[in-house]
Structure 1
Amino acid sequence: MSAAKTKAQSIIDENPVAVFSKSYCPYCKATKQLLSEMGAKYYAIELDQVDDGAAIQDALEEMTHQRTVPNVFIDKKHIGGNSDLQSKKKELPNLLKSAGAV
């Protein structure tokens, strides 16, 4: 397994909510805002601000078949991007609670 894939996997495994993000991305901001409004503890990594960001993005694409950010995981399960997260607004409180994120 590549170092980037190992790093991505450990971020997913170690955090109830993991957001792979880019600091300038409006969809990423919307995702983090929604999670904050829900009172969720989440870990966000800004792929444009870390040296191995491009490699992590490649690894995530391999793992999830999703190239875009934000790439969101709750309780180690791939949720998808911002529109996927927003469409789950009703179930989010329960998802976050069962993940131990609230």
Structure 2
Amino acid sequence: MDRVGRLASQKAVVIFSKSSCCMCHAIKRLFYDQGVSPAIYELDEDARGKEMEWALVRLGCNPSVPAVFIGGKFVGSANTVMTLQLNGSLKKLLKDAGAIWL
């Protein structure tokens, strides 16, 4: 749990992902298309990935990936991020976190 928190606070946008997950790919693309360069941690490629995955589940991320943190705070998974994008509030979160300047 400590490691997830530490990694999540190291950059404006942090995504915990799995390289084979199509929703993870879609969420990463959403951020890239907005000019955001998120820190991405592929849990299936990390020796402590399972441990981090359980920590994400304990935080309330179900499914465990993609798990998105903005400004060090847990935002949610794909459904939450897409809802924020559709209602227009994702851009404000990104601006407030310093991930974008527009």
When normalised by structure 2's length, the TM-score is 0.89
Instruction: Report what 1:70 is aligned to.
Output: 66
Indicate if the aligned counterparts of 1:58 and 1:67 stay in contact, CA closer than 8 A: no
Q: Corresponding residue for 1:99? A: 97
Long gaps (5+) in structure 2: none
1:34 paired to 2:19: no
- Quick one: distance in 2 between partners of 1:67 and 1:82? 10
Equivalent pair of 2:62/2:77 in contact (CA under 8 Å): no
* Letter paired with 2:33: E
CA RMSD of aligned residues (A): 1.0
Question: 4+ residue stretches of structure 1 with deviation over 6 A?
Answer: none
CA contact (8 A) 1:57 1:67 kept: no
In the alignment, does 2:72 pair up with 1:84? no
Cα distance in 2, alignment partners of residues 59 and 6 from structure 1: 9
**TM norm structure 1:** 0.89
**Correspondence for 1:13 among 9, 19, 34:** 9
Task: State the number of aligned residues.
Answer: 97
Structure 1: gaps spanning 5 or more residues: none
SS in 2 for 1:40: coil
